[in-house]
Amino acid sequence: MDAYSQTIFRLLGATIRNADAPLALREQAAYISASFASHQNSYRLMAQVSTLFNGGVILHASHRLLGLGEIAEAPVGRHGPALQAIVTGHRVRPNPADFEGHPIELLSILDPAIQAGLAGEKMFQLHQALVTMERNANEDLARYTRQYGYHYIFRAGLRQYYMTKAVAENVVLLEQDPRGQDYRLLAQRTCYAAIDQRPNMTNVEKEVVIRAINCVPQDAHRFWNWLATNRAAYRAMKACISLLDRAQFLLVKHEKIQA
């Protein structure tokens, strides 16, 4: 462990032992300290501590609060076979944490090769973004769970969405543009915004984007292919939500007719 991490652990230890500190702060400090054993990433450690001592939340609630019998009465239970068909069609393979409803974390699905090209401030910025995205993802998952009931595809899909969003906004994947890193990142963010707003962009629409930002076509298509590869669960999640919303609309319409 490097000297900087040792200093952070001393700070965490002092916080945990401080009886005058708020309980939530002490518990989250203990969580950060304990979780380091599993990820062993000094940049994530720094990002978590920075977020914690700036008033952020690190320890998120679990999401699967209902048993199988209770979930059966929720929308995800009533339409379970249809949702399963969508998930199977997208070839999504959920992990045990998805089934169990663990709080969302993003580091474990981040390609190590992406981190390998970063160092120092750039690496810290990425991990700060990941911590922020984890908060957003858990808030979204809690909202979906309240609305539809818990389903593992929500967790799997949101993990992919927010991991790729963090990377797209902070790590330059476009390689060939000679105008420098700042321009490549701007071009990449434009490519990301376009496909995020219109996931089913046609080749013609993609060419319009490429011409607008004047980037290397191979770079743009490689970036879009990377997004597509890493968002299969997200696409399945969106299809499932669309089905659930449609079913709810038809149910309300039927009830109005019956009334």
Instruction: Tell me the pLDDT tens digit for each residue of 160-193.
Output: 999 999 999 998 888 767 777 788 888 888 999 9
| 175 against 155, higher pLDDT | 155
Q: Are residues 177 and 246 in the same domain?
A: yes
pLDDT surpassing 90 at residue 143: yes
Q: For residue 10, tell me if it sits in a domain.
A: yes
Q: Are residues 92 and 29 in the same domain?
A: no
Of 137, 131, 221, which Cα lies nearest the Cα of 170?
131
Q: Check residue 259 and give its pLDDT.
A: 64
Residue 16: which domain range? 1-43
Q: Are residues 222 and 105 in the same domain?
A: yes
Q: Check residue 254 and give its pLDDT.
A: 63
pLDDT surpassing 80 at residue 258: no
How far apart CA 178 and CA 163 sit, in angstroms, is: 27
Total Cβ atoms within 10 A of residue 54: 7
Q: Are residues 189 and 79 in the same domain?
A: yes
Q: Are residues 11 and 120 in the same domain?
A: no
Long-range contacts of 134-139 (CB under 8 A, 24+ apart): 134/60, 134/103, 134/104, 134/105, 134/106, 134/162, 135/56, 135/57, 135/60, 136/162, 137/104, 137/106, 137/161, 137/162, 138/60, 138/61, 138/63, 138/103, 138/104
Domain count, the chain: 2
Of 127, 130, 75, which Cα lies nearest the Cα of 104?
130
| 117 against 256, higher pLDDT | 117
Q: Are residues 104 and 190 in the same domain?
A: yes
Q: For residue 171, tell me if it sits in a domain.
A: yes
Q: Are residues 78 and 39 in the same domain?
A: no
Q: Check residue 204 and give its pLDDT.
A: 93
Q: For residue 49, tell me if it sits in a domain.
A: no
Q: Are residues 78 and 159 in the same domain?
A: yes
pTM of the model: 0.83
Q: For residue 53, tell me if it sits in a domain.
A: no
Q: For residue 102, tell me if it sits in a domain.
A: yes
